Amino acid sequence: MDIVTDQQRKKLHPHKFTLWVAIASILMMFAGLTSAFIVKSNQANWQGVEEMPKFFWYSTVAILLSSLAIQMALRAFRQREMGRYRSLIATTLVLGVLFIVFQWLGFGELWDQQITFKGAGGGQFLYVIFGLHALHVLGGIVALIVMFIKAFFGKTKTYSSVPVEVAATYWHFVDGLWIYLLVFFLVIG
């Protein structure tokens, strides 16, 4: 009996496995898009971004702080400090929404620089890549909203940390993906 329970503990939870499969597919998608950007940027009529929008820097701070907040929330949940967990999940949610708002304003700055969907420039790639990232963050925000509702209004009190771990892992992933994209466009774009 002890052998069976040891083997079960060593197995990856199905939700975590599914998350890692999703992360791998998202990584492949963004690798393809950034590779296409590199190929396209070598064309003679390429027009790059003059200056990275300041709101993209603000969004970077927001998502980094949100990643810290969700990690602290996970720790609080594991220690069964539910009041602290609730406030940190709320903080993560607010910072995630702030990230999206800053992204929207950053896209406005790009538009003001005449980087649009039309023409030979790289605007199409910026909008598609950053927009897809924003959609993935929105997916994370939906998960955070569900966690927020369960934390404040849930009737069942289970202390399985798996949902919080999955959400935290995904949130750290979109955080790391944003840093990659920002550095990529600073160096290559």
Nearest in space to 173 (alpha carbons), one of 20, 32, 43: 20
Query: Which pLDDT belongs to residue 144?
Result: 92
pLDDT of residue 61: 96
**Choices 2.40.100.10, 1.20.120.80, 1.25.60.10, 3.30.70.141: CATH for 2-187:** 1.20.120.80
pLDDT over 70 percentage in the chain: 84
Amino acid making up residue 23: I
27-41, 59-73, 92-106: least confidently modelled range: 27-41
Pick the closest to residue 25 from 136, 130, 134 (CA basis).
136
Average pLDDT over residues 34-46: 79
Each residue's pLDDT tens digit, 156-187: 566 788 889 999 999 999 999 999 998 888 88
| Arithmetic mean of pLDDT over the chain | 84
- Rounded Cα–Cα distance for residues 141 and 136 (Å): 9
Instruction: Specify burial of residue 24 (Cβ count, 10 A radius: 0-12, 13-18, 19+).
Output: exposed
| Confidence (pLDDT) at 91 | 96
**The pTM of the whole model exceeds 0.95:** no
Q: Where do the structural domains in the chain lie, given as residue ranges?
A: 2-187
Average pLDDT over residues 133-153: 90
Contact assessment for residue 162 and residue 143, using Cβ atoms and an 8 Å cutoff: no
- Which two three-digit tokens encode residue 103? 């992204």
> What pLDDT score was predicted for residue 157?
64
- Residue 118 confidence class, pLDDT cut points 50, 70, 90: low
> The tokens of 19 are what?
């998350």
